[in-house]
Amino acid sequence: MATHGIALLYNISALPLIAMAFPQIKTGLIQLLKDGQPAAGGFSITLWGIAIALLMFMGVMLAIRSLLYLPQWRQAIRRIPLWLVRLGIGCTFLPALVLLVSPWIFALVSDRFFGYVLLFRSMLDLMLWLSLCAVLGVVNGIARLIVLARFNGSEY
């Protein structure tokens, strides 16, 4: 009886690859060795890339839309309670907050601390998406704070 062995060497290590591609490759190789036919289908890295690209696109478009509608927002805040306006402005800073605390979030989840460099190396797509949303959110939040500061208190 012949035995077979396979060594897989990867020159990149990223969270989506570890979570999705490597198990599929391992399962496919085992199936290939057992009966000669690997299973097809499943969630692939290509679909992951498309999903992240769509999330980035939607995030950018929503942030740009929000900035373009800033004059209409200025008119609308007259009808909205001040606490709700402040809450909405605060929400624009949430992606930046998540980005700032992401090393500690991953430390809580994995019992290991990952600095920003390692997070960007291992999850480039997610960290780019989060960074882009954070920058656009901060720009949007600052613009809204400026509009709110210039807003005449007696009109509110």
What residue spans define the domains of the chain? 1-43, 44-150
Determine the length of the chain. 156
- CB-count exposure of residue 120 (10 Å: 0-12, 13-18, 19+): middle
**How far apart are the C-alpha atoms of 83 and 19, rounded to whole Å?**
42
Q: Say how far apart CA 142 and CA 111 lie, in whole Å.
A: 35
| Each residue's pLDDT tens digit, 13-52 | 566 666 666 777 777 777 777 777 766 666 677 777 788 8
- Category of 111 on φ-ψ map: left (φ > 0), alpha (ψ -120 to 50) or beta: left
- Of residues 109 and 45, which shows the higher confidence score? 109
Percentage with pLDDT > 90 across the chain: 28
> How high is the pLDDT of residue 91?
93
pLDDT at 154 over 50: no
For residue 148, the one-letter residue type is: L
pTM for the model:
0.69
End-to-end CA distance of the chain: 84
Looking at the predicted structure, is the pLDDT value of residue 155 above 60?
no
